[in-house]
Structure 1
């Protein structure tokens, strides 16, 4: 991705100062569960409109001209709201890799936001989202390497649904791999899906990547995943996203 230096400088200045997107955003938060310890170990920040509009509505407002500022605004808003709510766990923030022209430069607003709102930088996890096609694996690898060097954790979201394949997992070596809902739905009734997850778990164990199953909605899905060796979970079975709130989880749920 090549952007003239003068535009890069102005883009960075706008991001740090909070360029007006033309619409307002806020965040909902969904718990991520450590089943072994029976605790909420993280929350994922999910972008929303200030009147509760879903992510689909928000992304309809995004175009080439405001993509950079939107990516930065989401990071800053996620940290701001999470800090206000007293979040003390890890915080997962989605990012658009094609909006990051320089990982070293584009992380500045995130660091300043964490300092401003008193949020621990060591508890930030950056998830690459499939909101747009990844232009360059090498570019994404550079982002992951840069973030890891700064002490941030990285995650591949929606694994099994789009661009990400076994080679991406091996080459990018994320801290966390999130299994897509398409692999989880009716998993208890599909030996094929169970075998696929076993292969993913084996590779992740080999390279030290934690596996997180997202979109868990039934007890049967949860029990099957636990039996396969998955430890971390996210989904409606535990809690729906809370609009500007940190939902509680009932670990004693049986239905």
Structure 2
């Protein structure tokens, strides 16, 4: 066999190998693209309107909003972030279960929207609770551009979960996070609940462009009285100097 023939044979083998590799790479790239396309989007933006929105027909857009915050959370993949904008004032008379999601609840800037927290009776219990956010796993809560209106508490004993934000059970987060940005905290009477509920080992609270009313002093954490210096509480991370 001549040298020219050998070179031609080697060239043919090489070209065949290149074609095989290129075909494999194309298949791999197509499979990766398909997997990426099928993966759920972890950051979701939704709009909520309790008056004209719908949890059955709504798409979560500004033109076709959901009716409840819970629907927006449920439409967000587990472990994802839900950015929910309230298009109207929202009255909350139940628990909203975050179920491992990170919730950013907001009103449009300068829209004057309110999150109105009301008392309610939880099934099978005799002590009142209040509208709140039930944390689990790695959930967090970020509230911005809203007036958060706290109820006038009923006389007598209140549930330990008469609070804005709490965790419960084996899925309660190790680090319980809450942030207020550009919010007004409003008291509709004498409030005797808490910002945070029990069952969490470490708390994180940040207030930016938000003033803590004197009526909420001593009502941040269970068992922590008004005027306590934040630096003396080992299980709290906050930018507030005292509670």
TM-score (norm. length: structure 1): 0.30
* Larger RCO (alpha carbons 8 Å, 6+ apart): 1
Structure showing the higher strand proportion among its residues = 2
Structure showing the higher helix proportion among its residues = 1
